[in-house]
Structure formats: structure tokens, C-alpha cells
């Protein structure tokens, strides 16, 4: 999904996510069609947290935040199964960073999303935002995958 522009300020919004809450949850929030239904029977209510879900109809929620006013907008566009396939197809940032470190790229944290990134050839880049960091890492990873060096 390309970055939407906020309804209020009309500036490009920042991507983010809202994790499910709960002691064993590690997934993004989801949207389900219809109103919540309470299952019949105490055991079924206990096993389903009190609401019946239909996982085959779930859509993953994408959250976007306006950097100007802080407004958050949610979009439910991708089925959960499709989102999981896309996630599996693209390696995590940790895997990409580890691959770049193996190729000789040095990462020095300057606090928060501020990083100093140095390539084996001496190219030095400093990032200040998550978007900068993600862009630089993606560019270096693309160079490594296509040319075999950074």
C-alpha cells in the first residue's frame, strides 16, 4: 500500500501497526466482518475469549499516523493469509541487517533511529528517522543481492 495522505492535514502519513493485546499475542490487529457473537456455553466462551471469530474472513489492519497532527487511520485491505505470505517472502529487518553485517557493513547506534552506517568501501550514511534507516538498509540489501557487494 502506498502511503495515504491524511484526511485532516493532507500530508503523507507514516506506516505503523497496533499489536493485539494479551499475554500470548504477537500479531497485528485484525478486522472481522459483522458484529461480535457470543458463543453458547461457558466452556466455549472461555476458549474463545467470549467472542466467536472467523479467521478465514479476517483482514489485517494497517495503521497510518499523520506526523503533523497525530491522527491515526486504519485500513483493512489484506486478508491475514495474504499478509503472512508477504511477510514470509520478505525477510525481517534483523535478517537483512545481519546479512549486511556479514558483508562488512558497520552499524553504529546514535540513539533512537539515528544510525551511522558504513560500507566496506568507506561510504558513510547517517539516518535520523525509521524511514531513512529502512530506505538505506533496503538500498544496501538490493546492491548486495544484485552485485554481490555493497
Q: Tell me: the pLDDT tens digits for 12-71? A: 998 887 877 655 566 778 888 887 777 677 666 556 566 666 777 888 888 899 999 999
- Clarify whether residues 82 and 98 are in a common domain: no
Across the range 71-80, mean pLDDT stands at 88
pLDDT at position 55 is 74
For residue 8, tell me if it sits in a domain.
no
Split into its structural domains, the chain has a count of 2
Q: Which of 50, 67, 88 is the last residue of a domain?
A: 88
Phi and psi angles of residue 146, each rounded to the nearest 5 degrees, phi first: -90, -35
Model confidence at 87, pLDDT cuts 50, 70, 90, reads: low
Helices 93-102 and 130-147: crossing angle in degrees, nearest 10, is 50
pLDDT at position 23 is 55
Does this model's pTM top 0.85? My answer is: no
Estimate to the nearest angstrom the gap between the alpha carbon of 113 and the chain centroid: 15
Domain encompassing residue 23: 14-88
85/93 Cα distance (integer angstroms)? 16
pLDDT at position 71 is 93
Amino acid at each position: 500500500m502506498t502511503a495515504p495522505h491524511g484526511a485532516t492535514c493532507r500530508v503523507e502519513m507514516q506506516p505503523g501497526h497496533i499489536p493485539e493485546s494479551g499475554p500470548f499475542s504477537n500479531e497485528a490487529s485484525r478486522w472481522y466482518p459483522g458484529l461480535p457473537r457470543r458463543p453458547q456455553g461457558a466452556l466455549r466462551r472461555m476458549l474463545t475469549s467470549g467472542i466467536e471469530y472467523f479467521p478465514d474472513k479476517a483482514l489485517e489492519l494497517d495503521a497510518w499516523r499523520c506526523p503533523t497532527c497525530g491522527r491515526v487511520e486504519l485500513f483493512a485491505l489484506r486478508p491475514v493469509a495474504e499478509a503472512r505470505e508477504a511477510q514470509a517472502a520478505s525477510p525481517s529487518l534483523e535478517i537483512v541487517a545481519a546479512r549486511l553485517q556479514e558483508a562488512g557493513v558497520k552499524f553504529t547506534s546514535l540513539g533512537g533511529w539515528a544510525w551511522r552506517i558504513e560500507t566496506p568501501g568507506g561510504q558513510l550514511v547517517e539516518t535520523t528517522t525509521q524511514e531513512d534507516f529502512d530506505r538505506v538498509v533496503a538500498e544496501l540489501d538490493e546492491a548486495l543481492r544484485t552485485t554481490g557487494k555493497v
